Amino acid sequence: MTGCLIIFALLALLLAGCDRRGPDGEQVNPREKIIIKFSHVVADDTPKGQAARRFARLVEERTGGRVEVQVFPNSTLYKDGEELDALMDGRVQMIAPSTSKLGSLAPQWQLLDLPYLFESEEEVHRVLDGEIGRKLFATLEGYNIHTLAFWDNGFKQMTNSKRPLVYPEDFRGLTFRVMINSRVLEEQFRLLGASAVQLPFNDVYQALAGGQVDGQENTMSNIYSQRFYQVQPYLTVSNHGFIGYVVLTNAGFWQSLPPDVRRVIEEAMAEVTAWEREQAAHLNEENFKQVKESGQVKIHVQTAEEKARWKEALAPLYQKFRGMPGGELLDEVLKAKRAL
């Protein structure tokens, strides 16, 4: 009799072990430890890097170690052009790409690449935390992607190795790195008389240092953490565009998680998102001071008159976007801004 009980117990354990999660949405065994691989392409000390680590810590604490979020920064797991495919086919469970990178799946996201679309973080949040953000998130549902949050990176500044960028004509003949998958960013530099080269983020420093490109646009936290300022002696503080991140998970994996685990992840993500947005603003300000104190960069802060000149040169881009998929969202954004 005792032998039979032992056999039945072993059989029960064997059957329980067969209940494993997968990208097809099969339910996760409640007794099984859940591993979430979170891949991103920036440094650990950037707003995204810090937020990813904070999220991992909260989830592990609040699930009693049942869920482990493994964070892979600086393209150590997947590069810019690889992350989305890895997420969709289940090789990684979470990523947080910049909105520009989503243009390959849904060109509507290029709306957020339009220069001078937003004047402040408050405008960004009011627009993307509302109906317009929900419409953008919905464009990803057909790709086995579930959206968890929108995180800040910050406003972009221009750097280059050749000369100060004060007026649009100063861009003529220069070559700039742009993020992959965005026709809007390429057109932005074309209108300024420059040319654009798409490069993954982890290749940018070498391209700048080796002279493959003359300049780039980015937030101060990325300019500082990636040491771009060490090979880019000219910086224009222009705040001409906003970089945000979309935290994404594989939809099949998400549906496979027990409801209580999904609830913990959502609550931790909401808490981290509020913290990340504050941290992004603080870190960009702090890193700007550090770049200034380095003495390696000649800094020009754009005036109102110079900003007007840039906006005039870039105005045709708005009309061109209206003819692209998602063009109707532009008027919704402008309307929402007027309501603030």
What are 29-46's pLDDT values in tens digits?
Answer: 556 899 999 999 999 999
Domain that holds residue 116: 22-338
* Residue 179 covered by a domain: yes
Other CB atoms within a 10 A radius of the CB of residue 266 amount to 12
Domain count, the chain: 1
Instruction: Let me know: does 8 contact 235? Beta carbons within 8 Å.
Output: no
Instruction: Let me know: does 87 contact 248? Beta carbons within 8 Å.
Output: yes
* Residue 108 covered by a domain: yes
* Residue 224 covered by a domain: yes
3-state secondary structure of 279: helix
* Residue 7 covered by a domain: no
* Residue 5 covered by a domain: no
pLDDT at 156: 98
pLDDT at 32: 83
* Residue 298 covered by a domain: yes
pLDDT at 325: 84
Rounded Cα distance between 184 and 104, Å, is: 12
* Residue 10 covered by a domain: no
* Residue 323 covered by a domain: yes
Rounded Cα distance between 78 and 219, Å, is: 22
User: From its phi and psi, is residue 120 left (phi > 0), alpha (psi between -120 and 50) or beta?
Assistant: beta
User: pLDDT below 50 — which residues of the chain?
Assistant: 1-25
Q: What is the CATH number of the domain that holds 269?
A: 3.40.190.170
pLDDT at 326: 84
pLDDT at 236: 98
pLDDT at 8: 42
pLDDT at 30: 57
pLDDT at 33: 94
